[in-house]
Amino acid sequence: MFQAFAPSLQAETLADLPTWAWVAGSIAIYVVSSLVLWLGQRRGNLHSSLASFLGSPGGTLLGWLARLVWLIAPGYAALLLDIVSPRLMGLSQIEIDVGLGQGVMLALVALGLLTLAVVGYRRSQPASPVYGSHADRLAVSARLALESGGLQWQWAFYRAVLVAALLQQGAANPVYLGAWLTVAVVTIQGALNPLLWRDLRTPGLAAPRLLRAAILVVTTQIYLLSRNFWLAWAFHAAAAILLEPRLRATSDLQREMNATKNG
């Protein structure tokens, strides 16, 4: 009998949590995980078998899947428990109106400007191949599309929580304020990761991080214009697939050059 009631009791307990606790819990998982990875890389003495596994293709795939689960699971669980509004996340009740058209125009203009910026950056860096093969191109594109969807999902979840909280407080223009507060929260979340600061200080590694920051700002404005999660995901996926491999190819070459110098 207890087993029959256990799932419903667990669901009620989770639903009773304040919405900010979901966001705080997600950030806490991110901070702890990034600190563990940073300390392991800094000391270089994580158990050798664990370190070799994490560096293997299987370990890399497992780490990527774990990150994707972290991005998606809290928001998905909150939706199932009716804690956040799908409309505030931009998932439903989407209108085809002037705002959607403005969002599409912004996405196209921003994608063009980011492409020009990346082309200019690539010209100033040593030439390096972007893809090893056609299969590599397809695999990387699929990974980046899924990853961009996970990031947009988390950002939409944070945004819905903050907007709902501001609505309850009777704040003026809660959607606008909540959207940009979400940018601040995501920025703080990233700033708590020591690996981010390492990359920003390393020549050749900062560009992909800055691209993601630009995508965060642009997709926030797309949401404000269109209230459309799917348009934001489409823009994010297009920008990541077109631009991120080119930045990462240069970054990988720069990393190899630094390793050769240090060696």
SS3 string of 80-136?
A: HCCCCCCCCCCCCCCCCCHHHHHHHHHHHHHHHHHHHHHHHHHHCCCCCCCCCCHHH
8 Å CB contact between 194 and 35:
yes
pLDDT at 9: 45
Q: Based on the structure, what is the number of domains in the chain? A: 1
Stated as kind and residue range, the H or E segment containing 204 is none
Decide: 219 and 235 in contact? Cβ < 8 Å: yes
Residues 90 and 228 sit within 8 Å (Cβ to Cβ):
yes
- Domain range for 180 is 2-262
Q: What per-residue confidence (pLDDT) applies to 1?
A: 44
| pLDDT at res. 228 | 96
Token couple for 196: 């981010």
Instruction: For residue 159, give the DSSP letter.
Output: H
Q: In this predicted structure, what is the pLDDT of residue 51?
A: 57
In tens, the pLDDT along 222-258 reads 999 999 999 999 999 999 999 998 887 776 655 544 5
* Contact between 124 and 247 (Cβ < 8 Å): no
Report the distance separating Cα 197 and Cα 10, nearest Å: 38
Nearest 5°: the CA angle 209, 210, 213 is: 95
What six digits make up the tokens of 11?
Answer: 């669901």
Alpha-carbon span 223 to 159, nearest angstrom? 10
The list of the chain residues with pLDDT below 50 reads: 1-9, 256-257, 259-263
Helix (H, G, I), strand (E, B) or coil at 1: coil
